[in-house]
A and B are shown apart, each in its own frame.
Chain A
Amino acid sequence: MALPSYTETRYRIWHYIYIAICTFVFFFLIAPLFVIFPLSFNAEEFLVFSEGMKNLDPDAFSLRWYKDMVYGTKNPWGLAAKNSFIIAIFATIGSIILGTLAALGLSSRHMPYKGLIMATLISPMIVPLIISGVAIFFFMAKAGLAATHTGIVLAHIILGTPFVVITVTATLSGFDHSVTRAAASLGSNPVNTFMKITLPLILPGVISGGLFAFVTSFDEVVVVLFLAGLENTTIPIQMWTGLREQLSPTILAVATCLILLSTLILVTAELLRRRSERLRGINR
């Protein structure tokens, strides 16, 4: 942002202060993530940069902690990763199906009690997680679903659907309903119309809601802490236990993998958002 040449000195100074503040904030946001990368390749057990690392000595770096993550004895990460992915995938599918259906209903102008129903459907997003955790735990304990995969999947569907409902409703707000009427007038039944016309058009919204649901499930720790038994341990639970007991470099190796995963999700989400905006005709 270049300043016009006639800018007075005091505004010029103020402008540089503003840029400096912004730089600091961006640094504050992103820098902590980058501390993890180099330290996860540390050859030593300490979580500080060794003299060797500061001098870029190749011997100071190693893949030791990554090997420990994958092959380590009594290692929980394999089971945790498997559980996390299974739970997140099923929770995402459940959230997408329930959330999309509900969003279709909510964006119909015939929907009765729209405000109340919308408030109920997105309430799990507003209620603090700890309270959701307590409530869901009471239900699962009664239903005999505590410490089961099914219970955790159901819990994550509860937490994930609001995101799907919100993103899909937003996509549908720019949706031209005459195309479905056109399909119907040409003899298509409602299911066929949905599969062939509506779904392809709202797909970006569905997928980005699904991504939110996936990340919510994959990253969720508060509710799982109440629900999980030893068999249902997940990556966040293992990280939580590890961070509470002792911060080991293996956790940093796992964290690096998670950052890579979130980068992947970020790129996907961004591409989807742009595609969706193009389809909805929002020019930026």
Chain B
Amino acid sequence: MSSETKQILTTDGIPLEVSLKKAEKKNKIKAFLLAAPLLLFLVITYIFPIGEMFMRSVDDRMVTNMLPKTFQEMEKWENLEELPPEEVYRAFYEDYKLLVEKQQHGKLGQRLNKEKNGFNTITKKLFRQIKRKKIDESASLKEQINKLHKRWRNVEYWQAIKRTAPPYTMAKYLKGMDMYLAADGGIAQVEEDRRIHRILWLRTLEIAFFVTLFCFLMGYPIAHLLATLPMKYSNLLMICVLLPFWTSLLVRTASWMILLQQQGIVNDFFVMIGLVTDDNRPEMMYNKVGTYVAMTQILLPFMVLPLYSVMKTISPSLMRAGKSLGGTPFVAFWKVYFPLTIPGIGAGCLLVFILAIGYYITPALVGGASGTLISNQIAFHMKTTLDWSFASAMGLMLLTGVLVIYWIYNKLVGVDNIKLG
């Protein structure tokens, strides 16, 4: 501010600029304080736990903490192609004995068994020897342990222990992509016939893609009809979209289970019109067909509602103008109407795709073995195998995928276009 302009003062004698800034700051704090309770609540109960999922997914401190002396001695183990020196054996023996006293040796055996098959047997063997006090601590432990089982004489098992030394690991993420850390430290592929996770990822993407496509193909015409019909008819038809939208997911899944069963109405109808014979009814549930049909119907409202809200704003005179300028109805539709609906298409497809990619309930009920998705696998590991770190890793991989899609969408169309019914 130049010195010539007179500073404007408020009635209290404070310069107006300062006073305004103060008020502005007060307003900022006020606005922030209103949002603060929810923000704090979500950060504690939701955002942090997602961070904890990440910690869990890479955490591998269990073995590191169980075998402290062993890993210390292993630092000095130079020729990794040969069995480790006596000191490593002694350190391992002492660590293991401590674990036996704390009754945690079983956990170690299981963990090492995941690293290299067959570990559980040989650690149990060592455990029995320790219990019977058959091990002479004054003599060479290397010889005594090596005598217990031929696997203790195999250097690969010692290398496996060494591999578990770092406190953090990418192993769970690699496992989620059917890869693993090989003995030489590189990344290797699981054998072809055991690549279950890759199949699941691909299937999840495939189902999400086709469900989105079907929803788009079915949703576009009816959204158009709803947007162009006079209000009194469209309100009535809107119920057909909104009633399923508000109805419980499980109720809708149940109705599809009734419809699609072998003695169900859809099959009855096929028999009636002579498409199939009565004793040759196709199986439509517990496979992909069931998943596609049920998920399309369940997610269709999420496609129709954003499309409708965009189409509603398009003036009908635009189409008339297109036609009057010599376009056929098809050309007018393709060149004028369709481009205007793209934000709606984007919002609908994004919603449906993101919902479909994380779907769990419907595929689990009507999908059978060939209809299960990645979410089912996550739930399976959370509840049945209790491998929470693997479930976390897969969950975060899925989340990353969703966020990438969301980011691309935001770049292309802008998130502000999403509307709720």
Q: Chain A: residues with CB nearer than 8 A to chain B?
A: 1, 11, 18-19, 21-22, 25-26, 28-30, 32-33, 35-36, 39, 47-49, 98-99, 101-102, 104-106, 108, 110-112, 117, 120-121, 123-124, 126-139, 154-155, 157-158, 161, 163, 165-167, 170, 212, 215, 218-219, 221-222, 225-226, 236, 239-240, 243-244, 247, 251-252, 255, 258-259, 262-263, 265-266, 269-270, 273, 284
Contact = CB atoms under 8 A, between A and B. Distances in A.
B38 A161 contact: yes
A136 B261 CA distance: 36
Contact of B392 (A134, A161, A240, A269): A134
Given A138-B52, A154-B45, A167-B420, A48 B32 contact: no
Contacts of A259: 243, 247, 251
Interface in B241-265: 241-244, 246-259, 261, 263-265
Contacts of A35: 255, 258-259, 265
B273 interface: no
B322 to A, nearest CB: 14
15 contacts: A18-B221, A106-B31, A110-B27, A120-B47, A121-B35, A124-B46, A126-B402, A131-B399, A134-B382, A134-B388, A136-B49, A139-B48, A243-B254, A252-B258, A270-B242
B336 interface: no
Contact of A106 (B35, B45, B361, B419): B35
B82 interface: no
B378 A134 contact: yes
B155 to A, nearest CB: 39
B354 A262 contact: no
Contacts of B37: 98, 101-102
B398 A131 contact: yes
Contacts of A161: 38, 42
Contacts of A129: 358, 360
B314 interface: no
B402 A36 contact: no
> 9 nearest interchain CB pairs?
A128-B358, A105-B34, A105-B35, A108-B31, A110-B27, A135-B49, A32-B255, A102-B38, A139-B49
B53 A138 contact: yes
B231 interface: yes
Contacts of A21: 221
Q: A-side binding surface: helix, strand, loop or mixed?
A: helix
Contacts of B396: 131
A244 B364 CA distance: 9
A128 B397 CA distance: 12
Given A128-B398, A129-B360, A138-B53, A266 B242 contact: yes
A128 B375 contact: yes
A101 B247 CA distance: 28
Contacts of B187: none
A6 B223 CA distance: 26
A26 B254 contact: no
A158 B50 CA distance: 13
A98 B35 CA distance: 8
B287 interface: no
Contacts of B282: none
Q: Interface centre among A99, A102, A137, by most B CB within 10 Å?
A: A102
Given A262-B247, A269-B246, A284-B231, A132 B46 contact: yes
B241 A112 contact: no
Contact of B420 (A1, A166, A225, A243): A166
A201 B402 CA distance: 36
Contact of B31 (A29, A105, A226, A273): A105
Contacts of A39: 258
Residue of A29, A47, A132 with most chain B CB atoms under a 10 A cut-off: A29
A22 to B, nearest CB: 5
Given A111-B31, A121-B39, 4 more contacts: A28-B218, A120-B47, A131-B399, A137-B382
B240 A110 contact: no
Contacts of A101: 34-35, 37-38
A104 B250 CA distance: 34
A47 B260 CA distance: 11
Nearest to B364: A244
B177 to A, nearest CB: 18
A124 B30 contact: no
A214 to B, nearest CB: 10
B30 A110 contact: yes
Given A108-B30, A138-B53, A258-B248, A29 B258 contact: no
B365 interface: yes
B229 A102 contact: no
A261 B297 CA distance: 20
Among A21, A127, A136, residue most surrounded by chain B Cβ atoms (within 10 Å): A127
Given A110-B31, A157-B41, A36 B251 contact: yes
Interface string B206-244: 000000000000110110010011010000010111111
A32 B252 contact: yes
B42 A120 contact: yes
Interface in B9-58: 24, 27-28, 30-39, 41-50, 52-53, 56
B168 interface: no
